[in-house]
Structure 1
Amino acid sequence: MFPSKTIAWYTAKMFLIRTLAFLGGLVLILETLDLLGESSRILAAAGNGDAELWHYVALRVPQLIQLFLPFSVLLGTLVTLATLNQNSEVVIFKSAGISAHQILSPLVIAALGISVVNFAFNERVTVRANAALDVWQAAEYKRGPAGDATVAEQWVRGGDDLFHADTVSGGGGTTTLHGVTIYDRSGNRLVRVVRATSAVPATGGWTLTGARSFDVARGVETANAQLAFPSAVTAQQFTTVSVDPSHVPFWDLIDEIGEQRDAGRNVDALVASANHKISGPLSAMLMPLLGAVAAFGLARSGRLFVRAVIGMFLGFAFFVADNFMSAMGNFGTVPPVLAAWAPFVLFFLIGETVLFRTEE
């Protein structure tokens, strides 16, 4: 894989330096523009000053790194390979019997290292920054606690029945629903509407307190101090709140998916996001392969710029396909694993096909 340790280190170092330079430049420029647009909102909150502006920068920079690191790897690849080509170093490498794959292998290994670091950074730093920034923005950049964590305004369906609770407290067997409205349906036909001041889980259903039941067919309402209501709806469906994958580390997201599945909720979007937490950082490995077209061909033929544009086009095409499939996975249009990994596999095959047919 590495016919020369010196050449491998030489090309990998060039690639890493240029990638980090592009990443630093992009983050600096984009964060400056973002701060200019957001600073008025931050300073509009009472008591906010320079410290809050720097706090915003600290929370926003990890998001920009996560977003633009694969793009920086692509630019670093193109500049590195175009420079090697322009200086006829690629010709020297191939004259020494080094194949195209061997020329690219140091860049791929370096990109793999970037992917590992990126994954660890995202799951340790970025998810916390995302959660903190979203809470702060929801409070309009005001100081103070994040707010009450009470689970409120829950809609849950079990079979044909539809439950609504104004608030939910407790958990497990001690779960209590307050301000309950139950739409008892049979075959998509509303049979009765039951309202109660509170409800607690019981064997095979719920025990309602202060219940008033309206029979739709007869138009009669009856009151009961306590009413047993059989239903397939479980307490866990109320206490298992929705999960934002951008706020949860990968290892915790796996547990959350299990809890959501046990609560009877659709987890396809979460499964797609969990897979994308791996395939996203790993996409940096593809960039040397997609940008490889800029490395080969005679520089004096005048087509080096065209080759670099083709490499950039392939990289951008991957980002577009990746975002498109992620959206399809979130909507449940395609299977979650396919949504996360199809662009990676497809563009790996495209890159290998181009490399084999043109250079190998």
Structure 2
Amino acid sequence: MQLDFFPSRTLTAYLAKLFIVRIVAMLAILVLVLMMLDLLSTSGEILAVAGNGQGELWTYVTLRVPQLIARFLPYSVLLATIIALVTLNQNSEVIAMKAAGLSAHQVLAPLLLTAAGVAAISFLFNETVVTRATATLKAWEANEFGPVPQTTDMRANVYLADGDDILMAASLAGTGESMQMRGVTWYRRGDGGMLTEQVRAASARYAAPGWLLEDATRFDVATADTSPIDRLVVAEGLTPAQIELESVDADAENVVELFGSILAYEDVGRRTSELRAKWWHKISGPLSAFLMPLLGAIAAFGLARSGQLFLRAIIAMALGFAYFVIDNAALAMGSFGGYPPLLAAWAPFFLFLMIGETVLVRTEE
């Protein structure tokens, strides 16, 4: 039996079923509680829009729940690991399995196999459901929870540079020459980068070249005077194609679309560190579920009556949450070029894989 990585078929099915039930239970609890808290803080903004009601609240829930599932599934696997292993330890089932000749790795093998399946499902769910829900929800938020957009090409809080000058828009919708901006502010800078004037307008459209602001208000910094302007063309160096590159959202694109955006950035000589780090993390992120049984394994072993079971559970939880903290920190470092994108996405995974394996071998094997 020592030569087999998995225990018997019956025991493998028993442990896998035990683990899956607890993963689903913990995920349901986390998503339900967090969705209720989120809805309490957002429902006021949704219902403040004329015509919105219960249907729009349910629309928000259907768009937000996939994001919560994607974010908290690894946490659910961690908590399910600790609960399942502590239960097995308290009931002396781990002792029985080890007495039957199973090693610590064989005890964990069904859980690791289940976690690998969860990671694969998580990746497919993220790429097919979460990206679409994220794009739609961001477009709806950019529309200030007005009518739900039929397309997801609306983007919020767009910041564009034309040389030293800045063009900002609260929202942007459309593609090509039909692109429209709302809540527009134009900042003109003079010599030395000093702000010379500010122009605000309700909307802007492409004027080929430049962007046409109508019924705008100009503020002159030097004289502190405010004056109305009927028509003004600004940012003549900005084209719709450049703006589409500026507004790439890695969270709203799947791996294929995001890879295409990265290639488009590289074709025009743009920096791609942030996008590449997020592209790699789309693959390494779901795999964090596979690590959780290994990091939580310390809770499975040791005598329950020794009084150290609670301490072991705390250590397992600390290892799991330390991974998430370091993973987010590494991704942030990779986004602004502190780490190479590949290292930022994969280093935490392999680091904690070695830590978990070392702890398991040193303590149990």
TM-score interval, smaller chain: 0.7 to 0.9
Partner Cα distance (1:288, 1:344) in 2:
13
- Give the structure 2 partner of residue 203 of structure 1: none
Residues 169 and 247 (structure 1 numbering): CA distance in 2 closer, same or farther, change over 3 Å? Answer: closer
Q: Which runs of 5+ in 2 are unaligned?
A: 178-188, 193-206, 211-237
Residues 18 and 169 (structure 1 numbering): CA distance in 2 closer, same or farther, change over 3 Å? Answer: closer
- Give the structure 2 partner of residue 14 of structure 1: 18
**3-state DSSP of counterpart to 2:161:** strand
Residues 99 and 39 (structure 1 numbering): CA distance in 2 closer, same or farther, change over 3 Å? Answer: same
Q: How far 1:294 sits from its partner (Å)?
A: 0.2
From 275, 279, 282, the equivalent of 1:277 is: 282
CA contact (8 A) 1:135 1:146 kept: no
From 97, 110, 113, the equivalent of 2:114 is: 110
Partner Cα distance (1:303, 1:261) in 2:
54
Partner Cα distance (2:75, 2:130) in 1:
17
Q: Which runs of 5+ in 1 are unaligned?
A: 172-182, 189-196, 201-232
Q: CA RMSD in A?
A: 3.3
Residues 164 and 64 (structure 1 numbering): CA distance in 2 closer, same or farther, change over 3 Å? Answer: closer
**Per-residue displacement from partner, 1:7-48 (whole Å, max 9, x unpaired)?**
111111101100110000110111011111111111000100
Residues 82 and 235 (structure 1 numbering): CA distance in 2 closer, same or farther, change over 3 Å? Answer: closer
Asked whether 1:319 is paired with 2:324, we answer yes
Residues 87 and 116 (structure 1 numbering): CA distance in 2 closer, same or farther, change over 3 Å? Answer: same
**3-state DSSP of counterpart to 1:281:** coil
Asked whether 1:40 is paired with 2:44, we answer yes
Taking structure 1 as the reference length, the TM-score comes to: 0.78
CA contact (8 A) 2:7 2:107 kept: no
Q: How far 1:250 sits from its partner (Å)?
A: 1.0
- Give the structure 1 partner of residue 99 of structure 2: 95
Q: How far 1:348 sits from its partner (Å)?
A: 0.4
Residues 153 and 288 (structure 1 numbering): CA distance in 2 closer, same or farther, change over 3 Å? Answer: closer
- Give the structure 1 partner of residue 140 of structure 2: 136
Q: How far 1:236 sits from its partner (Å)?
A: 6.1
CA contact (8 A) 1:237 1:264 kept: no
**3-state DSSP of counterpart to 2:144:** coil
Aligned partner of 2:325: which letter?
V
Aligned partner of 1:285: which letter?
F
Partner Cα distance (2:175, 2:252) in 1:
23
**Per-residue displacement from partner, 1:256-302 (whole Å, max 9, x unpaired)?**
11111112111110000001001110000000000000000011101
Partner Cα distance (1:234, 1:49) in 2:
39
Q: How far 1:156 sits from its partner (Å)?
A: 6.0
Aligned partner of 2:309: which letter?
L
Q: How far 1:103 sits from its partner (Å)?
A: 0.6
Q: Where do residues 207-286 of structure 1 align in structure 2 (5 Å cutoff)? A: 237=242, 240-286=245-291
**3-state DSSP of counterpart to 1:46:** coil
Residues 319 and 299 (structure 1 numbering): CA distance in 2 closer, same or farther, change over 3 Å? Answer: same
Q: How far 1:235 sits from its partner (Å)?
A: 9.7
Asked whether 1:330 is paired with 2:357, we answer no
Partner Cα distance (2:255, 2:352) in 1:
25
Q: Where do residues 75-86 of structure 1 align in structure 2 (5 Å cutoff)? A: 75-86=79-90
From 3, 9, 19, the equivalent of 2:7 is: 3
Partner Cα distance (1:121, 1:281) in 2:
10
**Per-residue displacement from partner, 1:152-211 (whole Å, max 9, x unpaired)?**
985367xxxx7989999859xxxxxxxxxxx9xxxx9xxxxxxxx9669xxxxxxxxxxx
Larger Rg over CA atoms: 1
**3-state DSSP of counterpart to 1:155:** strand
Taking structure 2 as the reference length, the TM-score comes to: 0.77
